[in-house]
Structure 1
């Protein structure tokens, strides 16, 4: 894991459209189409299916707006609103294990049907929440950011 792998800042919001409109009006951000679907997620209490919805800015620095999911880690952060820092990972399982070894508890894992993690959220007591995202998704996300259109 390297600092140069950091590629976005995530904000959890109640209303994606309203938050995007405000950031556009104030800072000129342009936004991609909203992504989302029910997703199977492994949480500390077990597996759950959550309706995860988000959008990314086409503008940089890259922001991700994530719709609030009550009763989960996807709640708006107090104060600044920053929810997480997103990093590319060449091996989500190994990087996740390393973060856990360093005291960053696993809050959620997204897994492929074969059980391989392709994203993970970690939280420490002293720093920001970290999202690891499989680098294999990078070309797909770069196309999404360039066009603003949902990947097909």
Structure 2
């Protein structure tokens, strides 16, 4: 006697993928990773000038904040670069460059011009390695100063 073969009806693959996607999406929406609180004064749109006329931007104060304080805010991944014009090397400057900076969820780079005396710049310049730059790069840099 032949018994009729009974087969279970399975859920189609489309519905399995659809339900799995809904579950995964709901988990991603409701389970957010912990983030450090961001000081509102560090956000770019909260730059302001105080009662003494001092600018406060990105948690820094120009001509007041030291490189060490900037490194506390934005990390120790910083490059110090010396610049001069190639013609007579009279104008020298130093910059600190932070290649990766996070302010909340905003990612960017930050370059800060350092205030250094002429003697400090001259000493650093004499110790440093000199790289010739094409004239086009020198002109472009001198326009930014």
TM-score > 0.5 by shorter chain: no
Greater strand proportion: 1
Structure with greater helix share of residues: 2
The TM-score with structure 2 as length reference comes to 0.30
Q: Whose radius of gyration is greater, 1 or 2?
A: 2
Q: Which of the pair has the greater relative contact order for Cα pairs under 8 Å at 6+ separation?
A: 1
